């Protein structure tokens, strides 16, 4: 009996050479590290060294998160990945009325350079790679990071890491936007230019399909809408006067890894192939690094269950294996208790140990692209590629990603996919262990990690102290220069330079974002009218 994949594509009971009718390996595969990069972006992949093992962490105060980062580094984490709380993500200070009840809950609260100093205190920023999951205010957090590095004596050209900085997916699937699309894209172009001149090793954007997948996107939708967003960013940078090879090598991507290993491997391989062709054929990129789709992967949080949470350890191991077999450059494995609350120290350590077992106790690092030539994986790669290209064509026919967003196309497609999955789960057609099959009569008790509600008052006190101590005249002057730059036409002034001056003067995240809101306005989704 034929089954369907997560993207609604057929999975046959058996595959042979006939499934690959017209397949020309020399065109579709090539060698690892060579165009079209189906088999991986580097010739040796993990045979030289394993992927970067990141653990996404951040909660409560900067002091608490700093302690967790040091524990992760001691346990073998090669890269830090910072989670910020909702007020920070939305550009509000912890003492703003709108922030009430959310301070420190889903990430760390960062209000100013004072908090950033504490967050990275005792961590040598010239030696670690740091990924920051921050979008609308990405420029602010990057500049705060650079300022703290300067205080440590670390030159900006030694800093390595990534800011997510992907606002388009916020309008599609996540909702932590601040400004309307046009000024948001201008800000991203300014970040590209700033980093080329000032922080050359930094990955300036992580174009994200993960959040679309968490909202219900199928694998084909995930890569189609992510790559369409990537095309929009490339066009924005070129329109701002940049050469494609000046910024494209620093683009990176962020995808999910589900439990459906075969399709996930196919998805990653198809995404690399599509991106390489787009960059070479549409944008004329000459630098081979501009053609490489380098990506970070996180295991699927949406597939974790609060019921029998220990089963999530198995899910995460399977998902992590799919990411590795698909050729990810870095990986975060979720903790088994994340469907209940913030991870405990023990569960975060177990999540990291899962990656270490994959890297050092299995043989998946012994060879590059282990599934190459597999009848089923090659056919699924072709099928996912074709489905994604069809969706990308529809986005182009609407005028590109922004126009499609304003018409609600991506959001509508994802919602339909999510509804189908929910129906299948409710009917029992889709088995979720511990939820609709293999349930326990009574769940075992579990004591989760909880955030101290006193954090909100503590952050408010820190802000009051900061405002009393700082040179308010210097802050006001810096914010005025920032607004002046924001009022100028795109390409005539880069807002990051006056923004950095304001943050150095101890302007807060909320104050800087409010200054930009005064000039650019705030985005209101069309379906809110």
Please tell me the distance from the alpha carbon of residue 135 to that of residue 173, in angstroms, as a whole number.
13
First to last CA, the chain: 47
DSSP string, 208-257: E-HHHHHTT--HHHHHHHHHHHHHHHHHHHHHTT--HHHHGGGEEEEEEE
Residue 206 φ/ψ, nearest 5 degrees: -120, 100
**Per-residue confidence of the chain (529 residues) as pLDDT tens digits?**
678 999 999 988 887 777 777 767 666 688 999 999 999 999 999 999 999 998 877 888 999 999 999 998 898 887 888 999 999 999 999 999 999 999 999 899 999 999 999 999 999 999 999 999 999 999 999 999 999 999 999 999 999 999 999 999 999 999 999 999 999 999 999 999 999 999 999 999 999 999 999 999 999 999 999 999 999 999 999 999 999 999 999 999 999 999 999 999 999 999 999 999 999 999 999 999 999 999 999 999 999 999 999 999 999 999 999 999 999 999 999 999 999 988 888 998 999 999 999 999 999 999 999 999 999 999 999 999 999 999 999 999 999 999 999 999 999 999 999 999 999 999 999 999 999 999 999 888 877 777 788 999 999 999 999 999 999 999 999 999 999 999 998 878 999 999 999 999 999 999 999 999 999 999 988 753 3
Q: CB–CB of 228/270 below 8 Å?
A: no
Please report where in the chains the tokens 């990176």 appear, as a residue.
252
pTM listed for this prediction = 0.92
Please report where in the chains the tokens 């955030």 appear, as a residue.
451
Q: Which of 440, 480, 486, 466 is nearest to 94 (CA)?
A: 466
Alpha helices in 283-340 (DSSP H): 311-325
**Half-sphere exposure of 384 toward its Cβ, with a 13 Å CA cutoff?**
32
Q: What's the Cα-to-Cα distance from 83 to each of 108, 269, 506, rounded to whole Å?
A: 6, 28, 22
Please tell me the distance from the alpha carbon of residue 129 to that of residue 266, in angstroms, as a whole number.
28
SS3 521: coil
pLDDT at 529: 31
Q: CB–CB of 251/272 below 8 Å?
A: no
SS3 161: strand
* Long-range contacts formed by 155-159: CB under 8 A, 24+ apart: 155/126, 156/198, 156/199, 157/199, 157/200, 157/201, 158/126, 158/201, 159/125, 159/126, 159/199, 159/201, 159/202
pLDDT at 25: 67
Query: What is 3-427's CATH topology?
Result: TIM Barrel (3.20.20)
* Residue-range domain boundaries for the chain: 3-427, 469-528
Residue 227 φ/ψ, nearest 5 degrees: -70, -35
DSSP string, 18-63: GGGTT--HHHHT--TTSTT-TT-SSSSGGGTSPPEEEEEE--BSHH
Q: What's the Cα-to-Cα distance from 162 to each of 18, 104, 277, 356, rounded to whole Å?
A: 43, 22, 24, 22
């Amino acid at each position: 009996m034929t089954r369907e994949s997560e993207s609604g594509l057929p999975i046959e009971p058996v595959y042979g050479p006939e499934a690959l009718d017209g397949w020309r390996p020399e065109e579709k595969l090539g060698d690892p590290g060579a165009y079209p990069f189906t088999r991986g972006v580097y010739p040796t992949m993990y045979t030289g060294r394993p992927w970067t093992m990141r653990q996404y962490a951040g909660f409560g105060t900067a002091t608490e998160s700093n302690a967790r980062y040091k524990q992760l580094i001691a346990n073998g984490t090669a890269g830090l990945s910072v989670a910020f709380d909702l007020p920070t993500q939305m550009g509000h200070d912890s003492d703003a009325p709108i922030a009430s009840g959310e301070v420190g809950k889903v990430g760390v609260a960062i209000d100013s350079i004072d908090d950033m100093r504490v967050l990275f205190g005792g961590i040598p920023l010239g030696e670690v790679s740091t990924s920051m999951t921050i979008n609308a205010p990405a420029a602010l957090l990057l500049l705060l990071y650079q300022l703290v590095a300067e205080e440590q004596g670390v030159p900006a050209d030694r800093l390595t890491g990534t800011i997510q900085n992907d606002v388009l997916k916020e309008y599609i699937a996540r909702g932590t936007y601040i400004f309307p699309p046009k000024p948001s894209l201008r800000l991203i172009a300014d970040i590209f230019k700033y980093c080329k001149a000032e922080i050359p090793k930094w990955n300036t954007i992580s174009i994200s399909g993960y959040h679309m997948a968490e909202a219900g996107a199928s694998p084909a939708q995930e890569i189609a809408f992510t790559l369409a967003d990537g095309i929009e960013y490339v066009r924005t940078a070129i329109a701002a006067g940049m050469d494609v090879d000046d910024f494209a090598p620093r683009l990176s991507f962020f995808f999910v890894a589900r439990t459906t290993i075969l399709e996930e491997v196919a998805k990653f391989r198809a995404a690399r192939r599509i991106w390489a062709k787009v960059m070479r054929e549409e944008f004329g990129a000459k630098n081979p690094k501009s053609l490489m789709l380098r990506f970070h992967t996180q295991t699927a949080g949406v597939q974790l269950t609060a019921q029998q949470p220990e089963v999530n350890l198995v899910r995460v191991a399977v998902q992590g294996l799919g990411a590795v077999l698909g050729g990810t450059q870095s990986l975060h494995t979720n903790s088994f208790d994340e469907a209940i609350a913030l991870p405990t120290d023990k569960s975060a350590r177990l999540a990291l140990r899962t990656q270490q077992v994959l890297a050092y106790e299995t043989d998946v690092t012994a060879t590059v692209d282990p599934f190459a030539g597999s009848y089923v994986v090659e056919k699924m790669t072709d099928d996912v590629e074709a489905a994604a290209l069809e969706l990308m064509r529809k986005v182009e026919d609407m005028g590109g990603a922004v126009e499609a967003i304003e018409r609600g196309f991506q959001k509508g497609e994802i919602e339909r996919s999510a509804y189908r999955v929910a129906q299948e789960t409710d009917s029992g057609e889709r088995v979720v262990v511990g939820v609709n099959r293999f349930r326990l009569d009574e769940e075992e008790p579990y004591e989760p990690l909880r955030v101290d509600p006193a954090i909100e008052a503590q952050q408010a006190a820190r802000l009051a102290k900061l405002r009393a101590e700082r040179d308010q005249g210097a802050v006001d002057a810096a914010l005025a220069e920032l607004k002046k730059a924001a009022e100028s036409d795109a390409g005539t002034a880069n807002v990051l330079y006056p923004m950095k001056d304001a943050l150095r003067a101890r302007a807060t995240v909320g104050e800087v974002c409010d200054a930009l809101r005064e000039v650019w306005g705030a985005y209101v989704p069309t379906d809110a009218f």
